[in-house]
Amino acid sequence: MAILGNIRKHSGLVVTLVGVAIGAFVIGDIGLKSWRNQTNVGNIDGEEITYKEFEQKVETNTELTKQGMGKDNLTAEEVFTVRQNTWNQLVNEVIMQKQYETLGLTISEEEITDLIQGPNPHRFIIQNFTNPETNQFDHNLLVNFLQTIDQREASVQKQMENLIVMIKADRLNQKYNNLIGKGYYMPKALVNKDYQMKNIKAQFRMVSQSFSMIGDSAVKVTDADLKAYYDKNINLYDQTESRDIDYVVFEVTPSQEDRVAMAKEMDKLYQEMSTTNDLSAFINFNSDKPYDSTFLKKGTLPVQIDSLMFASEPGTMAGPWVDNDIYHIARLVDKQSRPDSLKASHILIAFKGAYGAAETVKRSRVEAVKLADSLLAATKKNQKDFATLAARFSNDPSAAKNSGDLGWFADGQMVPQFNKAVLDNPVGSVVKVETPFGFHVINITGKTKSIEKVRVAVLNREIAPSNATIQQVYAKASAFAGQNHDQASFDKAVTDQGLNKRTKEYINPMDQQIPGLKSPREIIRWAFNPETTVGMVSEVKDVDGSFVVAVVKNTRSKGIAPFEQVKEMIQPTVLKEKKIEALAEKMGKINAKTIDELAAGLQAKVDTIRDINFMSFNIPMIGREPALLGTIFSMNAREISKPIKGTNFAMVVVVDQFTDAPARDNLSVEKKQLEGTFNSRVANNLFRILEKETKIEDNRVLFY
Q: Phi/psi at 304 (nearest 5 deg)?
A: -65, -25
Give residues with Cβ within 8 angstroms of 610, minimum separation 6: 201, 203
**C-alpha–C-alpha distance, residues 549 and 486, integer Å:** 12
Which run of H or of E encompasses 657? strand 649-659
Q: Is residue 679 part of a domain?
A: no
**262 and 246 in one domain?**
no
Q: What is 591-620 written as a DSSP string?
A: --SSHHHHHHHHT---EEEEEE-TT-S-BT
pLDDT tens digits, one per residue of 606-643: 999 999 999 998 999 899 999 999 999 999 999 999 99
User: Where residue 37 falls among pLDDT bands split at 50, 70, 90?
Assistant: low
Q: Is residue 328 located within the same domain as residue 355?
A: no
Report how far residue 640's alpha carbon sits from residue 320's, in angstroms, rounded to the nearest whole number: 85
Mean pLDDT computed over every residue of the chain: 89
What lies within 8 Å, CB to CB, of 126 at 6+ separation is 137
Contact 553, 534 (CB under 8 A): yes
At position 135, the amino acid (one-letter code) is: N
Residue 475: CATH number of its domain: 3.10.50
Q: Are residues 350 and 332 in the same domain?
A: no
Kindly report the pTM of this predicted structure. Answer: 0.72
- Evaluate whether 411 touches 338 at the Cβ level (below 8 Å): yes
pLDDT digits (tens, 9 = 90+) for 78-114: 899 999 999 999 999 999 999 999 999 999 999 999 9
| Domain limit, last residue, from 338, 370, 393 | 338
Judged by average pLDDT, the poorest of 139-148, 339-348, 601-610 is 139-148
Say if residue 13 is in the same domain as residue 125: yes
Q: Residue 183: which of 667, 669, 678, 670 has the closest Cα?
A: 678
pLDDT at 127: 86
Q: CATH no. for residue 370?
A: 3.10.50.40
Kindly state whether residue 27 falls inside one of the protein's structural domains.
yes
Report how far apart, in Å, the C-alpha atoms of 35 and of each of 38, 230, 538, 551, 655 are.
8, 36, 16, 20, 67
Identify whether residues 15 and 155 lie together within a single domain: yes
- Domain assignment present for 677: no
Instruction: Specify the range with the lowest mean pLDDT, choosing from 19-23, 377-381, 432-436, 626-630.
Output: 19-23
Same domain, 12 and 73: yes
User: What whole-number distance in Å separates Cα of residue 422 and Cα of residue 268?
Assistant: 40
> CB–CB of 648/622 below 8 Å?
yes
The yes-or-no verdict on residue 69 having pLDDT over 70 is: yes
Helix 365-381 vs helix 386-393: crossing angle, to nearest 10: 160
Contact indicator for 528, 542 with CB cutoff of 8 Å: no
Looking from the CA of 538 toward its CB, the CA atoms found within 13 Å total 24
- CB–CB of 184/679 below 8 Å? yes
> 385 in the Ramachandran plot: left (φ > 0), alpha (ψ -120 to 50) or beta?
alpha
Cα separation of 702 and 19, whole Å? 25
The conformational region for residue 135 under phi > 0 = left, psi -120 to 50 = alpha, else beta, is: left
Please report whether residue 327 resides in a domain: yes
Tell me the CA distances in angstroms from 481 to 195, 502, 526, 535, 541, one per residue in order.
Answer: 66, 15, 14, 13, 10
At 55, the pLDDT band (50, 70, 90 cuts) reads very high
Q: What would you measure as the largest C-alpha separation in the chain, in angstroms?
A: 107
Per-residue pLDDT band at 544 (split at 50, 70, 90): confident
Indicate whether 25 and 42 sit together in one domain: yes
Name beta bridge partners: 243.
Answer: 507, 555
Q: Which helix or strand (DSSP H or E) is residue 232 part of?
A: helix 223-232
How far apart (Å, rounded) are the C-alpha atoms in residues 25 and 49?
A: 8
523 lies in the same domain as 644: no
Name the domain boundary from 523, 557, 591: 557
Residue 67, pLDDT above cutoff 80? no
Q: Look at residues 543, 343, 509 and name the one whose alpha carbon lies nearest to residue 429.
A: 343
399-to-267, 403, 418, 433 alpha-carbon distances in Å: 51, 4, 17, 18
Domain span at residue 438?
Answer: 341-447
Task: Report the candidate in 430, 423, 431, 429 with the shortest Cα–Cα distance to residue 447.
Answer: 423
Distance (Å, whole) CA 400 – CA 413: 22
Region 246-263: what's the mean pLDDT?
A: 96
Q: Distance (Å, rounded) from C-alpha 531 to C-alpha 536?
A: 9
487 with 437, same domain? no
pLDDT at 34: 39
What is the DSSP annotation of 257-275? Answer: HHHHHHHHHHHHHHHHHHH
In a domain, 120, yes or no: yes
Same domain? 348 vs 317: no
Nearest Cα neighbor of 3 from 111, 147, 107, 165 is 147
In the chain, % of residues over pLDDT 70: 94
Indicate whether 440 and 524 sit together in one domain: no
- The answer to whether 292 touches 454, Cβ cutoff 8 Å, is no
Query: What SS3 string covers 679-700?
Result: HHHHHHHHHHHHHHHCCEEECH
319 and 354 part of one domain: no
Amino acid in the structure at residue 365: R
Q: Is the pLDDT of residue 567 over 50?
A: yes
Helix, strand or coil, per DSSP, at residue 289 = coil
User: In 129-222, where does DSSP find H-type helix?
Assistant: 139-147, 154-181, 188-199
Comparing 31-45, 142-156, 623-637, 661-675, which segment has the lowest mean pLDDT?
31-45
Whether pLDDT at 296 is above 80 = yes
Q: Is residue 674 part of a domain?
A: no
Quick check: is 576 in a domain? yes
In a domain, residue 235? The reply is no
Judge whether 507 and 244 are in contact, CB under 8 Å.
yes
| Domains: count for the chain | 5
Domain C-terminal end among 297, 321, 338: 338
Average pLDDT over residues 195-203: 95
Strand, helix or coil at 82? helix
Q: Is the pLDDT of residue 70 over 90?
A: no
Residues in the chain: 704
DSSP state of 235: G
